[in-house]
Amino acid sequence: MKEFDYVIADPVGVHARPAGLLVKKASEFKSEIIISNGEKSAEAKKLISLMGLGIRNGDKIHCRIEGEDEEDALLEMQNFFRENL
């Protein structure tokens, strides 16, 4: 299992466009990718669940990755967050 935290820098947080890109990126991996915002968690491959987290600018999210390609997924997801959120 791999984990990392990230503070959202996007001024409007995780709205529809970046959430869709996040789902697309997460779907490239076999590993389970769970995003948490406070007490709420969602599978990163499910758009509606992800949007339900209400992630805003300045929120510290936690990402947990578990599965056979978790190493690759960790690096790619960290890069995704830095470049897009």
Residues 3-23 have pLDDT tens digits of 999 999 999 888 888 999 999
Using DSSP's 3-state secondary structure scheme, residue 82 falls into: helix
pLDDT string in tens for the chain (85-residue length) = 999 999 999 998 888 889 999 999 999 999 999 999 999 999 999 999 999 999 999 999 999 999 999 999 999 999 999 999 9
Q: 2-84, which class in CATH? A: alpha beta
**DSSP letter at 38?**
T
Any bridge partners for residue 61, and if so which?
6, 37
Active site annotation includes 15: yes
Using DSSP's 3-state secondary structure scheme, residue 28 falls into: coil
Q: Where are the chain's structural domains?
A: 2-84
- Determine which one of 1, 4, 15, 52 is catalytic: 15
